[in-house]
Amino acid sequence: MNLSYDLHSHSTASDGTLSPRDLVDYALSAGVDVLALTDHDTTEGLREAAVAAEGSRLCLVSGVEISVTWGGQVVHIVGLGFDPQDPTLQVGLAELRTFRGWRAEEIGRRLAKHGIADAYEGAKRYSNGHLISRTHFARFLVDNGFSPDMRKVFKQYLTQGKPGHVAGEWAELDRAVNWIQGAGGEAVIAHPARYNMTRTKLRRLIGEFTEAGGVALEVVSSSHSKDEMFTMAKHSRDFSLRASAGSDYHGPETPWANLGKLAPLPDNAVPIWRGWSTEKAVAAV
Ligand code: AMP
Ligand code: MN
Ligand code: MN
Ligand code: MN
């Protein structure tokens, strides 16, 4: 049977706009069979999603998207099918959220110096209080007329060299991969074509990731063009990695990244789910 997989999505536990329950309901209505909830640096939404998926035909895979600093830039590593109770993983994620908390306050202070008052409190109101991401600042800034839309606001305020940008160190690549593996999961490089890396640097990243125990590249992503998809499929074959597919859905406001509306994996890519038992995926949460 040909199942529909979407292995990259967000809920209100990080910077998505649907609650985990609503995300699961939407995935069901969109024809997704196997869904991974992969919130940034937290697994807090997994329980609610698992309860919502129970008794339905949806198979929920535990997931997380870990923020990593590698080669002087931020890289995202998705973890799939791990035990969310794993203490080492949870301590690692908690560290990242502590940094996030400090960074959010610092973004607020910098925006205040730039004449935008109360941005921290504003961003916090857009979050569920558990974790604040730049996306929450972006929504606050757009809704208060500081920027016309979600694309421009990042360029204007939240990226390198801009008033609300705060640099910092996230997890190390091999640590993030080890947390996932140590918890029984599989590590995937998220949206590899989005890092604006030269081919040489990207292949260095993939090499170090493979060396650390990573198993797949996200070949199909809403943020990849067709050409990028084929290029990433080739990189995955060259490194004997498998291929993952995920929309990176954040909610109905960003229709270009829609749940379950993914291109099929290229024929010559080996799906990460080859050999997965779907019952095991549910039991893991
Ligand atoms: P953070 O992890 O808090 O630094 O926030 C990163 C998140 O911001 C990403 O996961 C995206 O959801 C969002 N993001 C980053 N850059 C952009 C952009 N240029 N346009 C829209 N959303 C973006
Ligand atoms: Mn995000
Ligand atoms: Mn990402
Ligand atoms: Mn994501």
Q: Per residue in 82-105, pLDDT tens?
A: 999 999 999 999 999 999 999 999
Please report which ligand is nearest the Cα atom of 67: 1
- Average pLDDT, whole number, for the chain? 96
Residue 254 CA, closest ligand 1 atom number: 21
Distance 90 CA to ligand 4 centre (A): 19
CA atoms 271, 76, 137, 146: torsion sign: negative
Determine the pLDDT at residue 256: 87
Residue 57's identity, in one-letter code, is R
Distance in angstroms (rounded) separating the CA atoms of residues 101 and 166? 12
Tell me the mean pLDDT per 10 residues along the chain, length 285.
93 98 98 98 98 97 98 98 98 98 98 98 96 98 97 97 96 98 98 98 98 98 97 98 98 92 96 81 48
Distance 1 CA to ligand 2 centre (A): 31
Please report which ligand is nearest the Cα atom of 151: 1
Tell if the pTM clears 0.85, that is, is over it.
Answer: yes
Distance in angstroms (rounded) separating the CA atoms of residues 74 and 78? 13
**Residue-wise pLDDT tens digits, 33-46:** 999 999 999 999 99
Distance in angstroms (rounded) separating the CA atoms of residues 266 and 98? 39
The residues whose Cβ lies within 5 A of ligand 2, an ion, are 15
DSSP string spanning 130-176?
S---HHHHHHHHHHTTSSSSHHHHIIIIISTTSTT------B-HHHH
| Closest C-alpha residue for ligand 1 atom 13 | 135
| Closest C-alpha residue for ligand 1 atom 12 | 135
Ligand 1: residues within 6 Å at CB? 15, 40, 67, 133-135, 150-151, 154, 250
